[in-house]
Amino acid sequence: MIDADYILNSLTKTFPNDLSESKIESDMRLTSYVEKDAIFNVCKHMLDNLECNHLSCECGVDYPDRNELEVVYHIASYEHPVVITLKVKLPRDDPEIESIVSIYWNANWYERETYELYGIMYKNHPDLKPLLLIDEMLGDWPLRKDYEGFPNKTSKNLV
């Protein structure tokens, strides 16, 4: 039976130096920070050896006071009831990370959206271009906390 314990053991054995602050919340939930260079191999290991075959979401978080951006991966499985949360810290001025589209195909649009809203660059993404925003807004990164769009870049004020 593969549960959160088993997955953490397997991950720490394969990547002894790359995991930190790992926390098992229950049989089904595991949270961990991963080094940014290791995330591709960790995801590959999860898919190939641990049957975690469902990337349920991938998103960004902005922490301006730590001067960091985080990419958060929620990886689940169709075979056993676990949801793994992996987080990667990136520097705010040069956020760049390996794309995982070649492992989980549905990461494609998640990464495009995270790119246009937070400005996180995904290396080796097949087609990194804006998904929901117009091309002219590229570079504004509207979901970063210091975005000052209003009133010049948002919709017009009525009053």
Task: Give contact residues for other proteins (rule: CB under 8 A).
Answer: 132-134, 137, 140, 142, 147, 149-151, 153-158
CB of 156 to other proteins, least distance (A): 5
> What 3 state SS string does 75-121 have?
EECCCCCCEEEEEEEEECCCCEEECCCCCCCCHHHHHHHHHHHHCCE
Structural contact between residues 79 and 53, judged by C-beta atoms closer than 8 angstroms: yes
CB of 154 to other proteins, least distance (A): 5
> 35 vs 140, which CB is nearer to other proteins?
140
> 17 vs 155, which CB is nearer to other proteins?
155
Structural contact between residues 71 and 60, judged by C-beta atoms closer than 8 angstroms: yes
Place of tokens 């990337």: 55
> 97 vs 119, which CB is nearer to other proteins?
119
Chain CA centroid to CA 54, Å: 14
Measured over the CA atoms of residue 21, residue 47, residue 36 and residue 65, the dihedral's sign is negative
> 1 vs 158, which CB is nearer to other proteins?
158
> 93 vs 136, which CB is nearer to other proteins?
136
CB of 22 to other proteins, least distance (A): 36
The single-letter DSSP state of residue 17 is: T
CB of 137 to other proteins, least distance (A): 7
CB of 19 to other proteins, least distance (A): 36
Residue 32: its H or E element: strand 29-34
Query: CB 69: neighbour CB atoms within 10 A?
Result: 24
